[in-house]
Amino acid sequence: METVFLYWWKKCSSCRKVRTWLLNEGINFRARDFFEEPFSEVEIRNIVGEGSLREIFSFKSPSFRKIGANPDSLNEDMMIELMLIEPRLIRRPLIVIGKKVVIATNLDVIQETIKKQLL
């Protein structure tokens, strides 16, 4: 069985809902609050894998709006640099199962995805 990784922030209500659901379902998972234990550049690149950083970058975040940058002007290196400085720019919670990364903002979607991945 694949290991389930939950990358979350304890102050995020969506993150807490997903964590509670995983616990209630008895799903074995490893959790990391990436605000308490920040990611390195290598870890962000490994989480994304062959996917796009744009999938996990929170362009709608108030923190991004404060920057005032044009989303189309950011390359991957710039996005990583910003995420390392401001973890609020990382969408959350992130669930990683094998090479599959899911942004778990919708509990129904994450429940379906986890059950498919683990069965």
Q: Give per-residue pLDDT as tens, 29-71.
A: 999 999 999 999 999 999 999 889 999 999 999 999 999 999 9
- The answer for residues whose C-beta is within 8 angstroms of residue 96's C-beta and 6 or more apart is 4, 5, 7, 47, 102
Instruction: Name beta bridge partners: 57.
Output: 90
- State the Cα–Cα distance between residues 44 and 111, nearest whole angstrom: 24
What is this structure's pTM? 0.88
**CATH assignment, 4-118:** 3.40.30.10
Sketch the domain layout of the chain as residue ranges. 4-118
27: CB partners within 8 A, 6+ apart: 4, 114, 118
Residue type, 68: G
The strand pairing partners of 52, in sequence order, are none
Residues 101-115, mean pLDDT to the nearest whole number:
78
Residue 114's CB: how many other CB atoms inside 10 A? Answer: 23
